[in-house]
Structure 1
Amino acid sequence: MNPNMTDRRRFLRRAFGAAATLLVGGCDRLNETSWFPKVLGTGEVLSRQVHKALLPRKSMAQEFTEADLSPHFRSNGTANPDNEVYQALAAKNFSEWSLQVDGLVERPRRFSLAQLRALPGRTQITRHDCVEGWSAIGKWSGVPLAEILAAVRPAATAKYVVFHCADPMESDGSSPYYESIDMDDAYHPQTILAYDLNDSPLPVANGAPLRLRVERQLGYKQAKYLMRMELADSLENIYGGKGGYWEDSNGYQWYAGI
């Protein structure tokens, strides 16, 4: 590869990474202005275009060895959902939990934890990067999302996978956590629904019984406490229409590629 091209790519990655950090860090005050949402929307489009141009969507996130594992993998976001249904499931060690998969699919299904564990699995040691400024390396085991999609057969019109979670984000429970990814990320080999962390069943603090790992995106995309997976052709009618809780409530970028 041309050395100048390599240098250019590194510069652009760093420049857009720094810009994204500034936007996220100051979004609470900037969202109060009239001009910032327009700039954020433009930046979102540019971010997707730059990531697609410089980092092919099929490129792999870096994987590590067990010697690199963090001594403690802290909890991001909710640590124990204040949700009666979830707490009842947790009290029975999630033996009655199941993942509902529906929307634009030919075969809507429910998967128990045992059924998910019986499917072909994948283990990967990757780094979690949080917008709060910390990172940690963990060993994740789970079922590739592609295996679930093969079982339910997405319609040709499906463009997004939306994840509905058990953790309520508002005091009245009106807004559970939710996130979404496109089909490029859904079929990526490192995109898994993880049920184990560091060779043990996923702890509640880290998203038990099942969480999303989409390894080339920031931590807020890694939805925890999964309850339902919905395939959709648009994000417009999903809550606030921007594809995720933080995207709708605080202007975070929908495509949080790293």
Structure 2
Amino acid sequence: MSWQPTKRQFLRRSLAGAGALVLAGCDRLGQTTWFPKLLATGETLSNTAHRALLSRKAMAQEFSEADLSPDFRSNGTANPNSAQYQAMVKNGFADWTLKVDGLVEKPVQLTMAQLQAMPQRTQITRHDCVEGWSAIGKWSGVPLHEILKMVQPKPSAKFVVFHCADPMEADGTVPYYESIDLDDAYHPQTILAHALNGNTLPVANGAPLRLRVERQLGYKQAKYLMRIELVERYDQIAGGKGGYWEDVAGYQWYAGI
């Protein structure tokens, strides 16, 4: 099936910012002095333009099963090398729980069985990586808004931070982290996925649970979820820019497509 973008989708892609314009060699560019400054400029323009011109409630393109990619490639971490994560893999994630806390009235720890007992959503969407590749997959999981309804965010909560199991440094430190605002958190296509293409989520793709925030680029789709934290501001998390790649390489915080 050949897909042609609508005017709205074309505009959304055009506004993705400077980070999406330079698709190859991202790691090398991130080490320069000029590229992070360019991304920072694009960040302001992209976020402002998206909010001004496009509805934050707009739905991402969904596809049919005939459009599924033959293989949904893994990118970044494919098997976290921490002892804690490897122990969970060994016992089939039987002891894994998702902690949800921060600025909430009712913090919880949820098992996979509890998550799977909640209302579910299945969607076939395209994953767009900042490196320039795309893949279409069928994701199933819990809409994030169902969990937010359970924990009851406090009025001061403005952002959702995702803490992950995959260490980003060679010495096994600095677990991956990302964040989104409540507009995206309550979007119906924002889910915590535990299945890919009708099967249990593979380790290479983020088992046991990963974020799907379908209107943003791939690095926002945090894998290996361990904790969700609601905060008033994200500039006090790690490097202060809202996510791992935002902090270390100057990627945009709002990576809308």
Using the size of structure 1 for normalisation, the TM-score is 0.91
**Matched AA of 2:67:** D
Q: Counterpart amino acid of 1:155?
A: K
Q: Which residue of 1 aligns with 2:3?
A: none
Corresponding residue for residue 22 of structure 1: 21
Q: Which amino acid aligns with 2:63?
A: F
Q: Is the 8 A contact 2:18 2:43 kept in 1?
A: no
Q: Distance in 2 between matches of 1:15 and 1:109?
A: 40
State the match for 2:183 in structure 1.
184
Matched with 2:124 is: 125
- Match in the other structure for 1:47: 46
What pairs up with 1:7-156 in 2 under 5 angstroms?
A: 13=12, 15-17=14-16, 19-22=18-21, 25=24, 28-29=28-29, 32-33=32-33, 37-156=36-155
- Write the distance in 1 (CA, Å) between the matches of 2:30 and 2:82: 32
Change in 2 beyond 3 A, CA 1:30/1:73: closer
> Corresponding residue for 1:233?
232
What letter matches 2:176 in structure 1?
Y
Matches of 1:43 and 1:54, distance apart in 2: 16
Q: Secondary structure of 1:126's partner?
A: strand
Deviation at 1:22, TM superposition (A): 3.5
**Higher RCO structure (Cα 8 Å, ≥6 apart):** 2
Q: 1:159 to 1:50 in 2, by over 3 A?
A: same
The one-letter code of the counterpart of 1:138 is G
Deviation at residue 119 of structure 1 after TM alignment: 0.3
Q: How many residues align?
A: 251
Counterpart in 2 of 1:170? 169
The alignment partner of 1:52 has SS state of helix
AA in 2 matched with 1:133? G
Three-state SS of the structure 2 residue aligned to 1:212 is strand
Mark the CA change 1:17 to 1:234 in structure 2 (over 3 Å): closer, same or farther: closer
Equivalent in the alignment of 1:3: none
SS of the residue corresponding to residue 141 of structure 1 reads strand
The alpha-carbon deviation at position 148 of structure 1 amounts to: 0.5
Does structure 1 retain, via aligned residues, the 8 Å contact 2:23–2:132?
A: no
Q: Tell me, what secondary structure is at the counterpart of 1:95?
A: coil
| Alpha-carbon separation, structure 1, partners of 2:249 and 2:59 | 29
Equivalent residues of 1:163, 1:180 under 8 A apart: yes
User: Is the alpha carbon distance of 1:180 and 1:10 closer, same or farther for their aligned partners in structure 2, counting shifts above 3 Å?
Assistant: closer
- Matched residue, 2:248: 249
**1:48 and 1:18, CA in 2 relative to 1: closer, same or farther beyond 3 A?**
closer
Q: Contact 1:100–1:228 at 8 Å: present in 2 too?
A: yes
2-structure distance, mates of 1:12, 1:97: 41
CA distance in 1, matches of 2:37, 2:204: 36
Structure-1 residue corresponding to 2:208: 209
User: Contact 2:98/2:109 (CA < 8 Å) preserved in 1?
Assistant: yes
Q: Is the 2:124–2:136 contact (alpha carbons within 8 Å) kept by the matching residues of 1?
A: yes
User: Residues 133 and 32 (structure 1 numbering): CA distance in 2 closer, same or farther, change over 3 Å?
Assistant: closer
> Which residue of 2 is the match for residue 220 of structure 1?
219
Task: Give the Å deviation of 1:47.
Answer: 0.5
1:122 aligned partner, one-letter code: R
Instruction: Report percent identity of matched pairs.
Output: 70
Shift in Å, 1:183: 0.3
Q: Could you state the TM-score of these two structures normalised by the residue count of structure 2?
A: 0.91
Give, in whole Å, the separation in 1 of the partners of 2:10 and 2:189: 26
- Of the structure 1 ranges 110-119 and 126-135, higher mean CA displacement relative to structure 2 is found in 126-135
Over the aligned positions, Cα root-mean-square deviation in angstroms equals: 2.0
> Structure 1 residues 15 and 139, CA, compared in 2 at 3 Å: closer, same or farther?
closer
